[in-house]
Amino acid sequence: MKPLRVAVFASGRGSNLKALLEAIERGELFAEIVLVLSNKADAGAFNIARDYGVPTLHLSQENFSSPQEFDRAMLSALHEHNVEVIALAGYLKKISSTIIREYKNRMLNIHPALLPSFGGKGLYGIKVHQAVLDYGCKVSGVTVHLVDEEYDTGPPILQRCVPVEQDDTPESLAARVLEVEHKIYAEALQLFAERRIEVRGRKVIIKDAPENPN
| Active site (catalytic) residues | 111
Site string for ligand GRF, 157-196 (x = CB under 6 A): ---------------------x--x---------------
In the window 79-108, what residues touch ligand GRF (CB under 6 A)? Answer: 89-90
Q: Give yes or no for a contact between 5 and 83, defined as CB atoms under 8 angstroms apart.
A: yes
* Residue of 95, 128, 89 whose CA lies nearest to 112: 128
Kindly indicate which of the ranges 21-29, 50-58, 110-118, 162-170 contains the residues binding ligand GRF, using the contact rule CB under 6 A.
110-118
CA-atom Rg of the chain in angstroms: 17
Asked whether position 5 contacts ligand GRF by CB under 6 A, the answer is no
Asked whether position 141 contacts ligand GRF by CB under 6 A, the answer is no
User: What is the number of other CB atoms lying within 10 angstroms of the CB of residue 212?
Assistant: 5
Asked whether position 110 contacts ligand GRF by CB under 6 A, the answer is yes
Instruction: Find the binder of ligand GRF among 7, 16, 35, 46 (CB under 6 A).
Output: 16
User: Given the rule CB under 6 A, which residues bind ligand GRF?
Assistant: 10, 12-16, 89-90, 110-112, 178, 181
